[in-house]
Structure 1
Amino acid sequence: MDSDTLEQLVDIPYPQHPHCATVLVLDTSASMKGAKIAELNEGLKILSDELIQDDLAAKRIDLAIISFGRKVEVIQPFTGVSQFEPPELEAGGYTPMGAAILEAASIIEKRKAEYRETGVDYYRPWIFLITDGQPTDMSRGDTRWQEVIQVIHGGESDRKFLFWALGVDQANMTVLRELSPPNRVPLQLKEAQWSDMFLWLSRSLAKISDSRIGEQISLENPTGPDGWGSIPL
């Protein structure tokens, strides 16, 4: 495939900048109806508004959204912040979390291949999972569970991506702890702290975009006295 054809197929804005592919894996099952889905939708607008105001983040962060509820769906393929339009998510269905995580890892690998093919440098991608329940498409020890564990833990150890799990409301934190890589415990959202969490996410991504590839950076502690999250016991 020549470069002209590839450029037509893959739209990566600001290719002279390094990029950070970030996929939000969002629970839209029936239990998210009401205030939670409204807060989630508002949070996506906050994330977009904050990132677009940061010059480097607006050029370097690529966002994608995968929802899992009635089905697993790539609601928003990877796009630059300036082209990102927060969707209006609706809640319904079950919680096919396993398939959604596998899809997130898959689209990240495809995005990294696009970066390489177009000569774009990139930071380690992020997978950010938000759920209020537990998976309905896998159980501890079954084939899909083992596959998801291998993808998450192997992806982290091989530096393919960073995986964050956030539980809200009645999320099964034991399951999220087992899914999460050993070096990063899942976080539980404090009540009514949705906006603070999305502000933290936007500031974290902005900080990455202002760093050098491979540089170690310190993120704000989300579990501090004024933080939005807690570590479940």
Structure 2
Amino acid sequence: MEERRIVTELIPVPEDGLVKYPYKEKTPVVLLLDTSGSMEGNPIDELNEGLLQFVQAIREDEVAKKSVEICVIEFGDTPRIDEENSFVLAEDFRPRKMIADGYTPMGEAIDLALSEVTSRKAFLRQRGINLFRPWIVLITDGKPTDMKIGDRKWFSTKEAIKIADRDAHCLCWAFGTSKADMNALKDLFPDRHVFGIVGADFTSVFNFVSHSMKIIARSGGKQEVDLGNPGDFRLKVEI
């Protein structure tokens, strides 16, 4: 696979203050989190708690905490990246409290996530650091306010996700609450990577992602791994 370079010997790259444990294969993970006004109250509290548990779960794994790089992109009004937590190793990641406000610029947020993944992959490869296929995980309770099904922006974003999936650029996942526009998510994302959430049970999503990251980090020379998932079946994904 493009995302995994199999070598007989890994040559450590001197740590330059930018990449810790360069001899460890990295898995960049972009958490694309809806922090629009409709998330106010219990939903945003659950989202904050789920993120904390996610980070803690990965930190407890001696391999994953040195492999998983976390980047959080919030989208409420304007998609924004917490620069201090942009592709930071799990062992160093310190989540900041998210606040619900604004609309749901999902299209712009997805475009930003794909761009960030592209940049991070190039950054790591330039330094000779091996990586697994990055993940983008979107969690929302609504529908896009910056595009509509069938318009030019919608087509552009949908095509970008399709190409990313087809070319193994990254794995894109979408999770929506009962209030989310699931038809929109199913139109944008690959069918097998769209799931509904019961209530505001964001913890179950973060548990799935942290569990998956641990499996991938310990996959050794495998090209494919079996993952548990939010449904009642199993997924097999290429890494």
Distance of aligned partners of 1:33 and 1:213 in 2 relative to their CA distance in 1, 3 Å threshold: farther
- Cα distance in structure 2, aligned partners of 1:134 and 1:145: 12
Aligned to 1:26: 33
Aligned to 1:230: none
- Paired residues of 1:123 and 1:213 also in contact (CA < 8 A): no
- Cα distance in structure 2, aligned partners of 1:153 and 1:213: 27
- Paired residues of 2:107 and 2:146 also in contact (CA < 8 A): yes
TM-score (norm 2): 0.87
Alignment deviations for residues 174-209 of structure 1 (CA, whole Å, 9 cap, x no partner):
000001124x24100123533233222211111111
Which residues of 2 match residues 55-134 of structure 1 at below 5 A?
A: 55-75=62-82, 76-134=85-143
Q: Where in structure 2 are there 5+ consecutive unaligned residues?
A: 1-12, 235-239
Aligned to 2:52: 45
- Paired residues of 1:46 and 1:195 also in contact (CA < 8 A): yes
What amino acid does structure 2 have at the position aligned with 1:196?
A: S
Q: Where in structure 1 are there 5+ consecutive unaligned residues?
A: 228-233
- Cα distance in structure 2, aligned partners of 1:213 and 1:111: 22
Aligned to 1:216: 224
Aligned to 1:231: none
Kindly report the root-mean-square deviation, in angstroms, between the aligned alpha carbons of the 2 structures.
Answer: 1.9
What amino acid does structure 1 have at the position aligned with 2:32?
A: V
Alignment deviations for residues 67-104 of structure 1 (CA, whole Å, 9 cap, x no partner):
00021101231111111001200001000000000000
TM-score (norm 1): 0.89
Return the offset for 1:214. 5.7
- Cα distance in structure 1, aligned partners of 2:209 and 2:24: 21
Aligned to 2:4: none
What amino acid does structure 1 have at the position aligned with 2:213?
A: L
Aligned to 2:152: 143
1:195 to 199, 203, 228: 203
Task: Give the secondary structure class of the aligned counterpart of 1:165.
Answer: strand
Return the offset for 1:12. 1.4
Identity of aligned residues (%): 36
- Paired residues of 2:204 and 2:230 also in contact (CA < 8 A): no
Moved over 3 A (4+): none
Distance of aligned partners of 1:174 and 1:213 in 2 relative to their CA distance in 1, 3 Å threshold: farther
Aligned to 2:214: 206
1:166 to 175, 178, 181: 175
- Paired residues of 2:70 and 2:87 also in contact (CA < 8 A): yes
- Paired residues of 2:208 and 2:229 also in contact (CA < 8 A): no
- Paired residues of 1:122 and 1:213 also in contact (CA < 8 A): no
- Cα distance in structure 2, aligned partners of 1:59 and 1:23: 16
Aligned residues, how many?
220
Return the offset for 1:168. 1.2
